[in-house]
């Protein structure tokens, strides 16, 4: 019996080791691109900015689109459709506090998606929206 690893087994071990080291980093993500990477890995695909823009600006069978409160493009302050309160720009290049707190991001995705779609957004939809937002530059 031999305990030598074949080259492919060795590689797989190496990859697993790296993934385990990276997990805590992903959990501590604090920026828009980190959160984008988290949603992309949960969705198993890259975010698609064009799809994100279409998703954000469309109505989904209800009264509001994401854009109803956040504006299009969301690079300027938006306005809440029912309370009239100002909402800081959603695109992170225009508002540095955006997407720095994953718990806050998740809370608002849940709430807003329920308002707009009547259900939660899935990881792919969040990745698409974030891919679009991250690409909006001054």
Binding site for ligand HEC (CB under 6 A): 64, 66, 68-70, 80-81, 87-88, 98-99, 104-105, 108-109, 112-113, 115-116, 129
Residue among 41 and 79 whose Cβ is closer to ligand HEC? 79
CB 1 to ligand HEC: min, Å: 54
Cα Dmax for the chain:
74
Nearer of residues 1 and 86 to ligand HEC, judged by Cβ: 86
Angle at 46 between CA 42 and CA 50, to 5 degrees: 125
Which whole-number Å values give the CA distances from 114 to 24, 64, 86, 119, in the listed order? 29, 11, 20, 5
- Closest approach, Cβ 122 to ligand HEC, in A, equals 12
């Amino acid at each position: 019996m031999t305990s030598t690893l074949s080259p492919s087994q060795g590689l797989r071990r190496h990859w697993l080791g790296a993934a385990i080291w990276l997990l805590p980093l992903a959990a501590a993500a604090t920026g828009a691109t980190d959160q984008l990477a988290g949603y992309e890995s949960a969705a198993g695909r890259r975010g698609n900015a064009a799809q994100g823009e279409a998703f954000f600006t469309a109505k989904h069978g209800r009264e509001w689109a994401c854009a109803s409160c956040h504006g299009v493009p969301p690079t300027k302050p938006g306005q809440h459709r029912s309370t009239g309160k100002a909402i800081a720009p959603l695109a992170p290049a225009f508002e540095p506090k955006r997407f720095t707190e994953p718990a806050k991001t998740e809370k608002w995705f849940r709430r807003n998606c329920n308002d707009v779609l009547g259900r939660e957004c899935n990881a792919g939809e969040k990745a698409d929206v974030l891919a679009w937002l991250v690409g909006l530059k001054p």
